[in-house]
Amino acid sequence: MTVDILAKDTGETLVQHTLNCLQVANVLIGNLPFGTELVKKIRDDLLLGLAIHDVGKAAIGFQKSLQKDSQPWGHRHEIVSASFASALGIKEEVLLAIITHHKTIPSDGITNTRGSLPYQEIPWPDDLTPVWEKMAEEWNSNMPAFRGEWNKICSAIGREDLKDFARLAPLSVDKKWFKRHKQADNIEFAKRYYASLLRGLLISSDHIASNNRVNPSLLPKIPVLRNYQIVSFDLMGFQKQAGKKLGNLILRAPTGSGKTLAALLWAQANQKKNGRLFYALPNMASINSMFLRMRDYFGKENVGVLHSRISSFMYSIREGDNDETSRLRDQRIAWTSNSLAREMWYPIRVCTPHQLLRYSLRGKGWETMLSEFPNSCFIFDEIHAYDPVVTGLTIATAKHLITQQNATCMFLSATLPSFLKQILKKHILNISVLEPSEKDDKDKQILEQKRHTVEIVDGNMISNIDKIIDKIQRANSSLVVCNHVQSAQIVYGEIAKKIKDKVMLLHSRFSREDRNRIEKELRDSLPKVLVATQVVEVSLDIDFEQGFFEAAPIDALVQRLGRVNRYAKRVPAHVMVFREQIDSYSIYDEQIVNSSIKELPTYPVVLGEKDLVDIADRVYAGGYNSDDNHVFEEALNHQMISHFEDLVMGIHEDWVDKIIDNTDSTIDVLPQELVARYDQLYNSGLIIEANDLLVPIRVKKMYYLKDLVDRSHDPMILKLPYSSTTGISLNPDERLPSYVIVE
């Protein structure tokens, strides 16, 4: 009796897994944004590579490792697969994709060996090591069983000519491919590029097919964006123009005027053959909100979200029952969404700019960009909010996408400074600029609308707390925004003492569970008072009657103003901006803050949208300061992007993960009050719910709190008070007055 050769410890056979991979690949191939001739070449090579990629698993040692409670084989099955490909005379690019579909090419002795293929296992023609000889022996000994499996695979790809084969052969690849620092000098760019493209497609096909929670047949085809009705009302003039603009575009329009809709109309007009859509925003909260909106427009099956907390977010929007069985099921669904968002599944993705930079800087998985980015539309929202490094890298990436990948890019902002607009015009090919026009009646209404009366107040919020509370008592809803978490906690405490109606607090030092709950409550109905930090500047579609803000750069103030009298349906709302902040440490460039405050009083007390744009231009008239300009220029001319032709097939840059993924520099800690609940949830298998109890703390602050951290628990425990109402308090010395900030 013939015994099936297994590919997974789930019992899935080699044939079943290979057929699933081929099914996924056929949809991915149909989604490729290339010409007919290239698509045919990719189809032939990719299907052949997938047919072979796991045949090394036929080795007796690997098959034994799939049995319950068995030890790992200890060798790389993909090396055996590549040796089999060599015996068939498969060309180098396909062979390279096969041998690197799990690990990178061997270390050169300089780079870390973690994650790379073991050099001693590779069967070089002039160096067949004892290790390799043992691997080959284990595979050859299972030849009778393998032949039957292989015949079925050959029939699936229509390659009957491959059914007759010899034993394994030494690796028939030029050794120059494996010289990391010399590959670009020795192998022509076209071959390295094509081998990398195949590797990305092969890996994504394998990963999607290996996800036993999804049906590969449900992999969506690229939707034609213009076939979706995303508006059912009369458009603004600038929105109509955006829907007609072909090519790269800068859009500057006021908050709440419909920039997002204009951007999507632009994408509908600019989509090319099998072009995907990427919508980049600078923070997770705004990404989550945009994701839900995009799903409503283009369907759940087409839209994915990509950031570092996907599983938590997808779990938070679940609609199932609250019993443990349903929660475990919803957790599996959230994990699946997380996995698919990182593969080539969703044709429309909402993400941080860092996720796009991961590809251009060749972080892990960068090869998929070679199949996903060509012909695509990229929307970079709130570009003014990026720091100089990310701005430089983003512009360099956009330039590469346009010139090398036939992509089209759009940049939009409410307060895009003129200096940044000039930088974009200088570096982005054939880019045009669109703004609401005073010649259009609807646009003119936007430009002339007066939403706010701004008053600059001496002192800080604590010294003016009685005045603030008096005004709060006279209004239905008030928004208070501080620059620091601890300041917000102090102000919240002072207001909550005097105001009997609902007072809420929102900042970054809540657990994800409490943050989700608070934001949901805000979406449902506004409290009498919301005290918040900068987290309120994005995503939340809220509309307060009046505002009280600590001083900040004009672009940040504009975002805060956008949460007060948001739709201009009332008379201009009164907003106080305090010259001083409670905390002595400034998180902003003090020169920019001072300039912003100085410029505000020079305009009419009642501010219109055009006034705010003019103020932003004046504040940022000098562009970046010398330090920021230096790092911006370095990023703009980053060698890995500007010299893309130097790419090395079969490796990724580990340091990119650290620089790009961890730009927020936070550590998740577990408040001591939540330890028992965390352990109970974790032990029940509700991992996402357990992790939603963690609180992010900036690395710099952790240094000062090191004596209050218990590292014996994973995750580490922070021995400071936590409240679901106020979050975690970082003031460990209760003897200090409440208004003293401990850094």
**pLDDT for 291-301, tens place per residue?**
999 999 999 99
Same domain? For 689 and 576 the reply is: no
Print burial letters for 605-617: b (CB count within 10 Å at least 16), e (below 16): eebbbbbbbebbb
The CA distance from 22 to 85, in Å, is 17
pLDDT at 665: 66
Per-residue pLDDT tens over the stretch 189-201: 999 999 999 999 9
What is the secondary structure of 650-702 as a DSSP string? T---HHHIIIIITTT-EEEEEEGGGHHHHHHHHHTT-HHHHHTT-EEEEHHHH
Are 459 and 578 within one domain? yes
Q: Is residue 230 part of a domain?
A: no
- Do 481 and 611 belong together in one domain? yes
DSSP secondary structure string for all residues of 278-340: EEE-SSHHHHHHHHHHHHHHH-TTTEEEESTTHHHHHHHT--S-SSHHHHHHHHHHHHHHHHH
72-86, 428-442, 594-608, 659-673: least confident range: 659-673
CB burial readout 384-416, b (16+ within 10 A) else e:
bbbebbbbbbbbbbbbbbbeebbbbbbbbbbbb
User: In the chain, what percentage of residues exceed pLDDT 70?
Assistant: 95
What are the residues whose beta carbons fall under 8 Å from the beta carbon of 103, sequence distance 6 or more?
76, 78, 115, 116, 117
What are the two backbone dihedrals, phi and then psi, of residue 452, each rounded to the nearest 5 degrees?
-140, 145
Average of per-residue pLDDT across 136-148: 91
On whether residue 224 sits in a domain, the answer given is no
* Contact yes or no for 365/239 (Cβ under 8 A): no
Contact criterion met (CB below 8 Å) for 506 and 542: no
Residue 684 and residue 569 in one domain: no
CB half-sphere exposure, 219, CA atoms < 13 A = 24
CA–CA dist 706, 697 (Å, integer): 12
CATH number for the domain spanning 134: value is 1.10.3210
CATH number of the structural domain spanning residue 368: 3.40.50.300
Q: Are residues 254 and 209 in the same domain?
A: no
My answer on whether 332 and 468 are in the same domain is: no
Instruction: Point out the least confidently predicted range of 163-172, 244-253, 640-649, 721-730.
Output: 163-172
211, 340 contact by CB (below 8 A): yes
Q: Which whole number is the average pLDDT over 523-535?
A: 93
Q: Quick check: is 624 in a domain?
A: no
* Nearest of 578, 572, 540, 538 to residue 558 by alpha carbon: 538
207 with 246, same domain: the answer is no
In this prediction, residue 601 has a pLDDT band, given cuts at 50, 70 and 90, of: confident
- From CA 351, how far away is CA 374, in angstroms rounded? 18
Q: What is the DSSP letter of 438?
A: T
Task: Determine which of 266-270, 547-551, 621-625, 677-681 has the lowest per-residue pLDDT on average.
Answer: 621-625
Q: Is the dihedral of CA 631, 634, 637, 643 positive or negative?
A: negative
Q: Which of 629, 659, 689 is the last residue of a domain?
A: 659
299: left (phi over 0), alpha (psi -120 to 50) or beta: left
Nearest Cα neighbor of 56 from 19, 88, 99 is 99
For residue range 213-236, list pLDDT tens digits in order.
778 788 899 999 999 999 878 899
592 and 485, same structural domain?
yes
Is residue 538 pLDDT above 80, yes or no?
no
For residue 474, give its domain range. Answer: 449-619
In this predicted structure, what is the pLDDT of residue 739?
37
Helices of type H across 170-323:
183-186, 189-210, 237-242, 259-270, 284-298, 310-316
Q: What is the pLDDT of residue 303?
A: 95
In a domain, 419, yes or no: yes
Q: Count of domains in the chain?
A: 4
Cα–Cα distance measured from residue 271 to residue 504, given in angstroms and rounded to the nearest whole number: 43
Whole-angstrom distance, CA of residue 11 vs CA of residue 384: 52
Specify whether 526 is located in the same domain as 476: yes
Based on the fold, state whether residues 36 and 126 are members of the same structural domain: yes
Say yes or no to pLDDT of 466 above 60. Answer: yes
The band of 736, judged by pLDDT with boundaries at 50, 70 and 90, is very low
Q: Residue 44: how many CB atoms within 10 A of its CB?
A: 14
In a domain, 383, yes or no: yes
Asked if the model's pLDDT at residue 738 lies above 70, the reply is no
Q: Are residues 368 and 505 in the same domain?
A: no
- Amino acid (one-letter) located at 231: V
Rounded to 5 degrees, what are φ and ψ at 243? Answer: -75, -5
| Residue 343 belongs to a domain | yes
**223 domain residue, yes or no:** no
- Cα angle at 12 between 7 and 17, to 5 degrees? 65
Is it the case that residue 735 has pLDDT exceeding 50?
A: no
Average pLDDT, the chain: 90
Tell me what percent of the residues of the chain surpass a pLDDT of 90: 66
* 335-360 tens-digit pLDDT: 888 788 888 899 999 998 888 998 88
CB 334, CB 688: distance < 8 Å: yes
C-alpha count within 13 angstroms, C-beta hemisphere, residue 32: 24
Could you tell me if residue 439 is left (phi over 0), alpha (psi between -120 and 50 degrees) or otherwise beta? alpha
307, 195: one domain: no
Residue 472 belongs to a domain: yes
pLDDT at 602: 64
